[in-house]
Amino acid sequence: MNLKTSGAVVALCLVGSILSTAVAGTIEGTVTYKGKPRPAKTISTDADPVCSMSHEAIKDEKFVVGEGTDGVYPMGNIFVYVKSGYAEHPYPAATGPLVIDQKGCTYVPHVSGARVGQEVEFKNSDPTMHNVHSLGKNSPAFNRGMPAGAPNAGYAFKAPEVMVKIKCDAHPWMSCYVGVLDHPFFAVTETDGKFSIAGLDDGTYVVETWQELLGTLTGSVTVKDGSGTLDIQYTRDK
């Protein structure tokens, strides 16, 4: 056995292990709302008979909460991201596209996240005409008609922006939001309000949450020995 070569291999393995451990930190937490939640409104789709006859009643997704306890409710459709504290260098490209479907005369998902340069693929699963109209400020406008059965339409955002609104000009109730970042440290909550953001070094970070009606909140969290916890609570309604 070549001891020098063996030692070099061991050293490289140790360095790789140390680097892997250094970026394995995770921020976890829950976003909640304290107070009387806004009831989900039923949306009238009578303007398009295909929508009104083909699908169940649509509820707006501007304020989504899960089952609450003692007046505190977990919040869904919250975009959560690391605003500062992360290493500012190029990160590996996203694997695969973000897919946004026009299904049931709504956008699915309502809130999502994408990387700069990542392909965003728009589908039309409905038997009616839709269009995809982006209203971002930092990337070129995107406005494309999508008849029933049309091939998927692809797009890539050119610069970070939180958030980009996308709407359907044919159906005014249809909209969704995409948070666009140049790093991978973001998440979107479900109705349990929980989020997890992995791949962070130990250190202190500023985390921001975005909610469609209530805006943004920020909090500071320290990742130590690979983990950190941050809970954020909204307390006002508009």
Report which of 79, 59, 21 is spatially closest to residue 223, judged by C-alpha positions: 21
Contact criterion met (CB below 8 Å) for 134 and 99: no
Q: Is 94 exposed, middle or buried (0-12, 13-18, 19+ CB in 10 A)?
A: middle
Domain at 25-234, CATH from 1.10.420.10, 2.40.50.140, 3.10.450.50, 2.60.40.420: 2.60.40.420
Which residues have a Cβ under 8 Å from the Cβ of 3 and sit 6 or more positions away? none
Between CA 94 and CA 89 the distance in angstroms is 15
Cβ atoms within 10 Å of 218's Cβ, excluding its own: 11
Beta-bridge mates of residue 154: 121
Per-residue pLDDT of the chain (238 residues; tens, 9 = 90+): 444 444 444 343 444 444 444 557 999 999 999 999 999 899 988 889 889 887 678 999 999 999 999 999 999 999 999 999 999 889 999 999 999 999 999 999 999 999 999 999 999 999 999 999 999 999 998 999 999 999 999 999 999 999 999 999 999 999 999 999 999 999 999 999 999 999 999 999 999 999 999 999 999 999 999 999 999 999 975 4
Please state, in angstroms and as integers, the Cα–Cα distance from residue 207 to each residue in 23, 51, 82, 223, following that order: 17, 38, 4, 12
- Cα distances (angstroms) measured from residue 93 to each of 20, 121, 159, 183: 18, 16, 14, 9
Tokens representing 62 are: 């501007």
For the chain, the domains span 25-234
Q: Is 39 helix (H, G, I), strand (E, B) or coil?
A: coil
90 touches 81 (CB < 8 A)? no
pTM of the model: 0.87
